[in-house]
Structure 1
Amino acid sequence: MAVVTMRELLESGVHFGHQTRRWNPKMKRFIFTERNGIYIIDLLQSLSYIDRAYEFVKETVAHGGSIMFVGTKKQAQEAIAEQATRVGMPYVNQRWLGGMLTNFSTVYKRLQRLKELEAIDFEDVAASGLTKKELLVLSREKTKLEKTLGGIREMSKVPSAVWIVDTKKEHIAVGEARKLHIPVVAILDTNCDPDEVDYKIPGNDDAIRSVTLLTRVIADAVAEGLIARSGAATGDSKPGEKAAAEPLAEWERDLLEGEKKADDAEAPAADAAVEAPAAEAVEAVEAPAADAEQA
């Protein structure tokens, strides 16, 4: 079954590129034609590249990796936060702080500071042992940290790969990932440089529907990888093998339980469908035998 259909890509406007005067010649091989001054992206190639990216993300997560979702432009902010949260992955949808990957040790200290501030009850002035003014300053610090680092609150190490919407806008993130040899999975619009991306998806990185669709596809790949990871951890692997996965989070268990309930609901129907023909076959065999005895 295809990860996404051609119709879905067309309806979401994934095929619309930039104006012909705003393009990167390296993207020529991904362009199908030009219409009314706009480049049209070859969706047949997009489908093929989507499958490759999907498989890479799924396998990365299945082997214990994590994917960071990055998209700070307005069209991407909601989709990035929603889909990353759905599968429990870190995300950046406000402002990329320089050094978020290359200087993660410092960023990690700020994350610890954020958790310290979150433990403070700002409503209980007496118990805090601080003045109202001091609490106000700390509250503002907490708000600022939540805005910039809230999406990576639970991140304890650099990700295994990054999903990026608009590599031109997020050029700092792309540069840091490449410096650390972290694979980059990204949407490539007609003004982007394909050489910067390891797993490219030619498509529209400006339309909300296009960004939402492609980000959902990557999140689906993460979800499938998590299910495969949990299967290895819960007994599908051979006895004595060491599970490569980390302990499952609560949201991961909920995801798996949903899959299991769906499978359990389908099983009785399938068994009934198998038993009915089997019963008919038994009756067909017994009937001639009974006739022979009467004769």
Structure 2
Amino acid sequence: MTRRYWNIRLEELVAAGVHLGHGIKKWNPRMAPFLFISPKSKGNHITNLTRTARFLAEACNLVFYAASRGKSFLIIGTKKEAANSVVRAAIKARCHYVNKKWLGGMLTNWSTTETMLRKFRDLRTQQKTGRLGCLPKRDAAILKRQLSHLQKHLGGVQYMTGLPDIVIVVDQQNQIKALRECITLGIPTIGLIDTDCDPDLVDLPIPANDDSVFSIRFILNKLVFAICKGRSSSTSSIRNP
């Protein structure tokens, strides 16, 4: 497989604060290979950005080739620092996303999720056509609350017709349940991994600060760029066989 070059400069990583980790006492020893470690150091761990650039480039290659083959992506990030960036990235790259609370069993109990998605689409249709307004007020209020709940938790996956081919996780500590589901189902995962995370839980870890909006946005922007390039590559090959 031909490897593409992605312009990932160390200066940009530093400017985005990608290297800033958690306090020395709050870390996962399994992250040691990705960090600058000094026994006498105090304060926070510092991520080795050379390794970050390498793994981010590998992730970009992976999503590029997956996108060029029409694969589907799910981006997950629910904490406040990640939520807005996840939505923007997903919309730009035409990916599914979850930026609110993860509903347990969303992937492993896919048949139940499909039922909820059908209910969601049906309620949206009723709302758009004005059918909800024709119901008694009490019944309409109940259905509107259901619609609001489904929109909040399933709005980002409303067009998902099957399990995703690749899952991108922004905040591992908050998404352990989602990761466990991916592991159970054998769905490949890419994870933005901070110094307190377990890199062994994801297939392709990207060591980086997951508490900074700037760091999260930088990593997602690179991945989104690669996905979009992959999608356009696929379109070009169809137009020019």
Q: Could you state the TM-score of these two structures normalised by the residue count of structure 1?
A: 0.76
CA deviation map 1:220-277 (0-9, x unaligned): 1110111111122223x3xxxxxxxxxxxxxxxxxxxxxxxxxxxxxxxxxxxxxxxx
What does residue range 109-258 of structure 1 map to in structure 2 within 5 Å? 109-121=115-127, 124=130, 129-235=134-240, 237=241
Q: Which amino acid aligns with 1:48?
A: R
Q: Output the CA distance in 2 between the equivalents of 1:64 and 1:165.
A: 22
1:134 to partner: Cα distance: 1.1
Q: Are the equivalent residues in 1 in contact too, given 2:170–2:192 (CA < 8 A)?
A: yes
CA deviation map 1:22-67 (0-9, x unaligned): 1111111111245542100000111111110000011111111011
Q: Are the equivalent residues in 2 in contact too, given 1:12–1:213 (CA < 8 A)?
A: yes
Q: Output the CA distance in 2 between the equivalents of 1:124 and 1:46.
A: 51
Aligned residues with identical type, % of pairs:
32
Match of 1:50 among 52, 56, 60: 56
| Corresponding position: 1:10 with 2:14 | yes
1:99 to partner: Cα distance: 0.8
Q: The residue matched to 2:17 in structure 1 has which SS?
A: coil
Q: Output the CA distance in 1 between the equivalents of 2:163 and 2:127.
A: 31
Q: The residue matched to 2:45 in structure 1 has which SS?
A: strand
2:88 — aligned with what? 82
Q: Output the CA distance in 2 between the equivalents of 1:123 and 1:176.
A: 37
1:5 to partner: Cα distance: 1.5
Q: Output the CA distance in 1 between the equivalents of 2:205 and 2:68.
A: 20
1:282 — aligned with what? none
Aligned length: 235
| Corresponding position: 1:63 with 2:62 | no
1:107 — aligned with what? 113
Q: Are the equivalent residues in 2 in contact too, given 1:70–1:165 (CA < 8 A)?
A: yes
Q: Which amino acid aligns with 1:117?
A: L
Of structures 1 and 2, the one with the larger relative CO (CA 8 A, separation 6+) is 2
Taking a change above 3 Å as real, the CA distance of residues 64 and 123 of structure 1, as seen in their structure-2 partners, is closer
Moved runs in structure 1, 4+ residues, more than 4 A? 122-125
1:90 to partner: Cα distance: 0.3
Q: Which runs of 5+ in 2 are unaligned?
A: none
Q: Are the equivalent residues in 2 in contact too, given 1:122–1:139 (CA < 8 A)?
A: no
Q: Are the equivalent residues in 1 in contact too, given 2:124–2:147 (CA < 8 A)?
A: yes
Q: Please identify the structure whose Cα radius of gyration is greater.
A: 1
CA deviation map 1:80-107 (0-9, x unaligned): 0011011211000001001111111110
Q: Could you state the TM-score of these two structures normalised by the residue count of structure 2?
A: 0.93
Q: Output the CA distance in 1 between the equivalents of 2:210 and 2:79.
A: 10
CA deviation map 1:275-295 (0-9, x unaligned): xxxxxxxxxxxxxxxxxxxxx
